[in-house]
Structure 1
Amino acid sequence: MCTLTLAWHVFEDAPVVVAANRDELVDRPSEPPARRDWERPVVAPRDSEAGGTWIGYNDAGVLVAITNRWIETDMESDRSRGLLVRDALNHESAEDAVRFVERELDERSYDGFNLVVADANAALLVEWDGHRRVSNFDPGVHVVVNVGADGNYTIPGHRPDVGEQQAVNADSVLTALQPEPGEESREWLDRAATVIADHEYGVCVHGDGFGTRSSSLIHLGTEERTFEFADGPPCETPFEPVDAHV
Structure 2
Amino acid sequence: MCLIGIHLGSDQRLLIAANRDEFAARPTAPLHWWQEGLLAGKDLQAGGTWLGVTRSGRFAAVTNVRDPALRTAPVPFGSRGLMVKAFLLSVCDPEAYAQQMLTAVPDASPYNLILGRIHADSIQALWLGGRSRTVMPLQAGSHVLSNAELNTPWPKARRLQAALATEDAAVIDAVMHSQAVAGDDELPETGVSFDWEKRLSAALIAGDDYHTRSSTLIQLDPRKAAVREITWSPSAQAVTTLREYFELTR
Q: Under TM normalisation by the shorter chain, which class is it? A: 0.7 to 0.9
Partner letter of residue 139 of structure 2? D
Match of 1:64 in 2: 60
Cα drift, residue 17 of structure 1: 1.1
Cα drift, residue 245 of structure 1: 7.2
Match of 2:175 in 1: 195
Matched, 1:172 2:174: no
Identity of aligned residues (%): 25
What does 1:1-246 correspond to in 2, within 5 Å? Answer: 1-10=1-10, 12=11, 15-38=13-36, 41-71=37-67, 72-77=69-74, 79-92=78-91, 96-108=93-105, 110-120=108-118, 121-129=123-131, 131-151=132-152, 167-179=154-166, 185=167, 188-200=168-180, 202-207=202-207, 209-232=209-232, 236-237=237-238, 239-242=241-244
Contact 1:198–1:235 (8 Å) recurs in 2 = no
Match of 2:196 in 1: none
Partners of 1:211 and 1:3 lie apart in 2 by 12
Partners of 1:118 and 1:195 lie apart in 2 by 24
Partner letter of residue 198 of structure 1? S
Cα drift, residue 107 of structure 1: 2.2
Partner letter of residue 60 of structure 2? V
Partner letter of residue 85 of structure 2? R
Contact 1:214–1:232 (8 Å) recurs in 2 = yes
Gaps of at least 5 residues in structure 2 are: 182-201
Aligned residues: 218
Contact 1:16–1:118 (8 Å) recurs in 2 = no
Q: How has the CA–CA distance of structure 1 residues 243 and 31 changed in structure 2, closer, same or farther, with 3 Å as cutoff? A: farther
Gaps of at least 5 residues in structure 1 are: 154-166, 180-184
C-alpha distance after superposition, 1:183-213 (max 9, x if no partner):
xx5xx12321221001236211124511111
- TM-score w.r.t. structure 1 length? 0.79
Q: How has the CA–CA distance of structure 1 residues 244 and 25 changed in structure 2, closer, same or farther, with 3 Å as cutoff? A: farther
Partners of 2:244 and 2:232 lie apart in 1 by 15
C-alpha distance after superposition, 1:25-67 (max 9, x if no partner):
11100111111233xx211111100001110011220110011
Partner letter of residue 150 of structure 1? N
Cα drift, residue 132 of structure 1: 1.2
SS in 2 for 1:146: coil
Contact 1:123–1:136 (8 Å) recurs in 2 = yes
Partner letter of residue 51 of structure 2? I
Contact 1:220–1:226 (8 Å) recurs in 2 = yes
- TM-score w.r.t. structure 2 length? 0.78
SS in 2 for 1:87: helix
* Aligned residues: CA RMSD: 2.4
Partners of 1:191 and 1:168 lie apart in 2 by 16
Which runs of structure 1 show a deviation greater than 6 angstroms over 4 or more consecutive aligned residues? 243-246
